[in-house]
Structures are given as C-alpha cells and as structure tokens.
Amino acid sequence: MSYKFDGNKVFFTSDTHFYHGNIIRFCNRPFKDVEMMNETIIANWNNTIGQDDIVFHLGDFCLGGSAEWTKILDRLNGKIYLIMGNHDLKNIRQGYIDRFEYVAMQMHIEIGKQRIYLNHYPFLCFDGGYKDVWQLFGHVHTRKNNTGIDADRLQYLNPTQYDVGVDNNNFTPVSFEQVKRIITKQIEKGGL
C-alpha cells in the first residue's frame, strides 16, 4: 500500500538520538553535551517545520522512557510519522506511540509521481531501485571522515538512495525538494 502526500509539506529526518550522550562521541557531533545537542536539533527542526508540515522520521528518535520522549514530542512542530530504528524498538513504550501520526517498520509513499521507500536501514536491493524508486534511510550516520562500522559499505549505494539522518544534513530535516535536487544530481553523476 502506498500513501500519497503533497511534496510542499513533506520533510525527512533520522537519527536525532535525543538524550543519547554517547552519540556525540561516536559520531563526532559538534555539541558539548546532550542538552546542547537536543536544543540545537529542536531549534533547527522548528525553524524548518511548520505545524501543518509532515515529517517522516526514519528512526532512532530518542533514548529513555516516556518522560524523555514526551518532553521532546511536546516541543516539536509538525505531524510526525515514525519509521522505527533499532534504538526505538528498545525504547518505545505504551503511551506515546499515539503521539505519532503513524508508526511502522517501513513505508512506501508517493509524492506526485515519485515513489519513495522509507526504511531505517540502507538496502542493497529494493523494489524499483534500479529504475525510479528512491530509498531514504538513516542508521549509518553519513558524515565527513566517517569511520563508522558501515562506512566502507556505503560505496555500494544506488544514486536513488539518500541518508536523511541529521549527521548528513546539518542536524536539520530536509524537504522533499532538497532530496529531489540531491538525488537528481546523484543520478546525473552516477549514470543509472
């Protein structure tokens, strides 16, 4: 089943890792502590996202229990769809799943004629990936000088794939139009 959305109102992000102190060190994030990280990501989010905008969060939203999740959700603009990441599976509890518009392991959406497959993880193969389907993902924390465990595998991505995670996008959600420009450029360079 595919869900259709208006591209002017759609944004994507992933791997905010609110309240996750160790992620600062793991990913060389430019924050002195969790509070600074949380506040920066929340400010960037709310400066980008309006109340009626739709945000697809592709996983690893927040660490902690319902107090932490609720504190963050109370402050974020937009209607949030959560595609669950590995950390969310451990942390999601009854009571705030209904704070999201929708929670799923993956989603297929359409914006205009563009079909998009959303998953927390980058896929080596996915339906339509060699033609015109985009795959947006998080998990791998793409960044300059990435030394993460998955870094060497990222060379195998298709030009139709893009990491919407905050480490790859200046700690800010990206709009459908931005993603379209990036993927169009990647296809021109990659010659699919």
CATH code where residue 82 lies: 3.60.21.10
Of 71, 85, 76, 103, whose CA–CA distance to 23 is shortest?
85
Q: What is the mean pLDDT of residues 45-60?
A: 97
Confidence of residue 4 (pLDDT cuts 50, 70, 90): confident
136 within 8 A of 111, measured Cβ to Cβ:
no
How high is the mean pLDDT of the chain? Answer: 88
Residue 123: the pLDDT is: 80
Give tens-digit pLDDT for 56-88.
Answer: 999 999 988 888 888 999 999 999 999 998 888
Under 8 Å between Cβ of 163 and 144: no
* Count of the separate structural domains present in the chain: 1
- Amino acid making up residue 78: G
Higher pLDDT: 105 or 66? It is: 105
Q: Are 88 and 28 in contact (CB under 8 A)?
A: no
Worst-scoring range by mean pLDDT, 16-30, 104-118, 138-152?
A: 138-152
Contacts of 67 (CB under 8 A, 6+ apart): none
Identify the residue with better confidence: 89 or 130.
89
pLDDT reading at 94 higher than 60: no
Query: Which residues constitute the domain of residue 183?
Result: 3-190
String of DSSP letters for 123-159: -SS-TTTTTT-EEEE-SS---TT--STTGGGGGG--T
pLDDT at 99: 85
